Amino acid sequence: MRTAYRSIAHVPVGLAVGALGSIVFSVEAVSSRSIAARTVLYLMAVASGILGARLAWAGAYPRNEGLRVVNPLHTTLIPWDSINRIELGEYLFTPMAFVVSLDGSRLHIYGIDGTASVRRTETLIQELNALVAKKRQSIGDVRT
């Protein structure tokens, strides 16, 4: 079983965004005379680094209790027994994986998109669906 399902292209992009943002805001902060402006710029440099790291490591991470979906602005743990399927959909004009819950709600997985290779994305989705079926089966075995 994989420990992470994500598009590898996000790693260098996320790290570049974080590093560049941190550098730009830090340089601006050094040249600022106002302590308030300097403080805000340093905080933005830190936030850029954090956002870049979250971009780089966005994806789906299987855990014993469910599927942990890490997106740039939030992380969600979805229990195995509430997942219906993983499907390929569209988010902001980009082909992207979605977790479809039993209640019909959908959550996009930012780290699994088809911009680099739709075929690789479809393979990741098939693997995740097989894992979901296996986990739901084992949960059903435990409950009966």
Question: Among residues 59, 119, 125, 121, which one has the least CA distance to residue 87?
Answer: 125
For the chain, report the end-to-end CA distance as a whole number of angstroms.
25
Q: What is the C-alpha to C-alpha distance for residues 105 and 45, in angstroms, rounded to an integer? A: 35
Backbone dihedral region for residue 75 (phi beyond 0: left; psi -120 to 50: alpha; all else: beta): beta
- Considering the entire predicted model, what is its pTM? 0.80
CA atoms within 13 A on the CB side of 12: 2
pLDDT of 144 reads 42
Can you list the alpha helix ranges (DSSP code H) found in 5-116? 10-31, 35-56
Answer for the pair 62, 3: CB distance below 8 angstroms, yes or no: yes
**pLDDT tens digits, residue range 98-143?**
999 999 999 999 888 877 677 888 889 999 999 999 988 887 755 5
| Per-residue pLDDT reduced to its tens digit, 8-36 | 777 777 888 888 888 888 888 888 888 99
Closest of 20, 78, 83, 13 to residue 49, by C-alpha:
20
Coil, helix or strand at residue 71:
coil
45 neighbors 62 (Cβ within 8 angstroms): no
